[in-house]
Amino acid sequence: MKDYISIGSSPCNEDCVQLGSSDYYKRATKECNQFIKLIRKACGEEPEESTARLAIKHNSHDFGTYLDVVCYFDDQDELGAEYALWCEGNTPMTWDAEEGSAKFVKAFSQTQVKEILKKAYNQKEEGAQDMIDCLMTDVHGFYKAPRFTTEEQVNTFIDKRLAEM
């Protein structure tokens, strides 16, 4: 099913065009398009193999319709959802962001992490799942999903967690 995450109409530490101001739609469209370019510059283009797509969304409000940048994705598309969340959490806060300053890199899936654990600790499939469940929870028992992009990150995280036990 199609879903989206709202990102905003401009960087959060910058002024934005206000709904109700003169030429709002023309100015807000221009601002949102510039914001999309900035997000792509800082975070990278939408992954080709995903359904993720940055776009302008029109939203109804008591005072009129305002424009907002969103990232659309299919809720069955793990990569698209990951990219949307990455953009939401790493969008530049000002207009002067550097190229690649928050570059999106596809994270390992849980299956890939299991494969790394099996290889590193000679675990069977069931054992790897038990180890993931044990090592991926915090001291209160809440599951947390760290974002791993390299095998070294997985091993460092697991070694640290094992040392804490």
* Residue pLDDT, tens place only, 123-143: 665 666 677 677 777 666 666
- pLDDT tier at 45, thresholds 50, 70, 90: very high
Least confident of 13-17, 57-61, 81-85, 97-101: 97-101
E strand or H helix at 117, and its extent? helix 110-121
User: At 5, is the secondary structure helix, strand, or coil?
Assistant: strand
- pLDDT of 86 above 80: yes
In eight-state DSSP terms, residue 149 is -
Q: What is the mean pLDDT of the chain?
A: 85
Query: Which of 7, 109, 124, 112 lies closest to 56 in space, CA to CA?
Result: 7
Please write the tens of the pLDDT for every residue from 7-36: 999 999 999 999 989 999 999 999 999 999
**C-alpha dihedral sign at 35, 6, 81, 96:** positive
Averaged pLDDT, 104-116: 75
What share of the chain in percent tops pLDDT 90? 47
Instruction: Give the phi and the psi of residue 57 in degrees, each rounded to 5.
Output: -115, 140
- pLDDT of 107 above 80: no
- pLDDT of 37 above 90: yes
Query: Which of 103, 104, 105, 126 lies closest to 114 in space, CA to CA?
Result: 126
Averaged pLDDT, 69-76: 95
Least confident of 1-5, 90-94, 146-150: 146-150
Distance CA 5, CA 28 (A): 19
Residue 50 CA: distances (Å) to CA of 42, 83, 162 = 19, 9, 35
